[in-house]
Amino acid sequence: MSADAPVAELHPDYSGRTATARPWSEAVAVLTGAELFWLSTVRPDGRPHVTPLIGLWSDGALHFCTGPSERKARNLAKNPEVVVTTGNNTLTHGFDVVVEGRADRVTDENRLTRLAELWEAKYGAEWHFEVHAGAFANGAGGRADVFRVAPRRAFGFGKGEPYSQTRWRFA
């Protein structure tokens, strides 16, 4: 295990007898390949808010963007703690991944430029962004703030025999 790899633990109460903890590399493969994620934030009054969005895994973190006036951005301004989920909606096959962490704004223009290139490479030309004033900008004058979620803790749910629940703890 490398110094950056999280500690993996199998939860025996939610796993089949023959299950083993899944390696973090399997979770990274799911996070890298996913087209859609579900972002859970907390509203200022404490109620949850969940929304689907696109995003990408890069440099050990999940990245997503949102307009500054959108509900999720307003929630993040008050409480940056998030849960991001991806996987599939089947019961007997697949591998779902849940990432817990803090959504921090990315404002470095060089990093944003690289993320904009990765966004377009993953999602196509309709997701082309320029970088302006520490955010993504589109041709129509829209602005999207970019956030980075480095995992603090993550869970993987293996579906089908053997079912498994792996928890990864990060330093």
d(CA 98, CA 38): 9
d(CA 134, CA 113): 10
Q: Does residue 112 sit within a domain?
A: no
Query: If you search the block for the tokens 């973190």, which residue do you land on?
Result: 61
In the chain (171 residues long), the average pLDDT of successive 10-residue segments reads 77 93 96 98 97 97 97 97 96 96 98 98 94 89 94 96 95 85
Q: For position 1, what pLDDT does the model report?
A: 44
Q: Does residue 43 sit within a domain?
A: yes
Q: For position 138, what pLDDT does the model report?
A: 83
Q: Does residue 28 sit within a domain?
A: yes
Q: Does residue 125 sit within a domain?
A: no
Q: For position 141, what pLDDT does the model report?
A: 75
d(CA 38, CA 55): 10
Q: Does residue 120 sit within a domain?
A: no
Which residue range is the domain that position 22 belongs to?
Answer: 8-105+146-169
Using alpha carbons, list the distances in angstroms from residue 36 to 86, 90, 163. 7, 15, 23
Domain count of the fold of the chain: 1
Residue 29, both tokens: 């493969």
Asked if residues 120 and 65 have their Cβ atoms less than 8 Å apart, the reply is: no
85 membership: H or E segment, kind and range = strand 81-86
Q: Does residue 74 sit within a domain?
A: yes
Q: Does residue 132 sit within a domain?
A: no
Q: Does residue 98 sit within a domain?
A: yes
CATH number at residue 40: 2.30.110.10
